[in-house]
Amino acid sequence: MWGLEKLWLFLYWQLRPLVKWFLRKTTKLCELQRICYGKPAGCLRSQAVEFSLYHSRSTEIKTMIARLEEAARKKELSGAVQKAALGYAVKTVVMVKGINMEYHRPFVKSFGRCVEHIWGYKQLYNEVESLRLTQFDSNDPKHEEILMRLWNAMKPHNRLEARITKQWQDIGFQGDDPKTDFRGMGMLGLENLVYFGEEYSGAAVHVLSHSLHPQYGYAYAIVGINITSLAYDLLKDGSLKTHVYNACKSMPTLRVFHLLYCYLFYEFDKFWVESKPKDVMEFTFIKDKFETNIRNSLADPTTTFKINFVVDTI
């Protein structure tokens, strides 16, 4: 079976240029045009455009890709730079493929959105990675302020007695000082927790109440940081492209990642309770099952995760 697969791949790459040439002659459209006109907006279209661009033999397109990669790496794709980069990408492809921009305006619009998806995703990864690598610093007033926002979001009616206190364990930290729990995911883990607590306070407090359940309880903050790790892994290995390309109408932003985190945390809590664990020792097993379900969902190119928080009781 593996031999047949390798043979098929060999034949595909050998015949691909011939097939492209034949379709160009018969349809009068280049591969990118056929994709943009023939595939629905979202993951199916953007991933096909991505594949086509990255396998182009054109020197101009390879140069375009390198420049967009650099802009995404430097996190420069916003405002005027984003607009200029988009225009440059469109003009490069139009020139290389000999496309009449006036006649093919729908293509220009569709292709432009795909460019925003592709390099917006790469920029999003770099933004997320930058936050992950930024370690929590208790000597940084901004970091401390964000940490206090987390407490106020989760325990608005309870005053924190001191900066270092056992009260932090009430929202699922391991010890008296939360800073030690952020080492793996850095400021990304904290900002995710804060976003969930502030933007969806009802749902976050509801999940916190589940974490305090006498039978199904777990450490809220620690599990939240584990969910950040899951979301980060999905983003890094590209699995999250399905959701991001389907959910975003333009350039993905950090907010998209935060929203995905909120969805995952809420859904994991639901999955945990429905699994009826004997104790927290089952966490790894249940988390792995949950991750498998999420990855299976993302394998469907039509998937979009939509936040629909329904508060229930257990």
Render pLDDT for 180-220 as a digit per residue (tens, 0 to 9). Answer: 999 899 999 999 999 999 999 999 999 999 999 988 899 99
CB 247 within 8 A of CB 304: yes
Q: What is the pLDDT of residue 20?
A: 61
Confidence tier at 312 by pLDDT (50, 70, 90): low
Percent of the chain at pLDDT > 70 equals: 90
Number of Cβ within a 10 Å radius of residue 197: 25
279 Ramachandran zone, left/alpha/beta (phi>0; psi -120 to 50): beta
Residue written as token pair 């990255």:
54
Asked whether the predicted pLDDT for residue 251 surpasses 90, the reply is yes
Beta strands in the chain (DSSP E): none
CB 216 within 8 A of CB 277: yes
Q: What is the mean pLDDT of residues 294-300?
A: 98
pLDDT tens digits for range 264-286: 999 999 999 999 999 889 999 99
Query: Rounded to whole angstroms, how far apart are CA atoms 33 and 27?
Result: 10
User: What pTM value is reported for the model?
Assistant: 0.91
Query: Rounded to whole angstroms, how far apart are CA atoms 227 and 295?
Result: 14
| 105 vs 7 pLDDT, higher one | 105
CA distance readout (Å), 127 to 9, 17, 194: 35, 37, 17
Query: Rounded to whole angstroms, how far apart are CA atoms 136 and 287?
Result: 25
Query: Rounded to whole angstroms, how far apart are CA atoms 232 and 128?
Result: 8
Averaged confidence pLDDT in the chain: 92
Query: Rounded to whole angstroms, how far apart are CA atoms 247 and 256?
Result: 8
pLDDT tens digits for range 55-69: 999 999 999 999 999
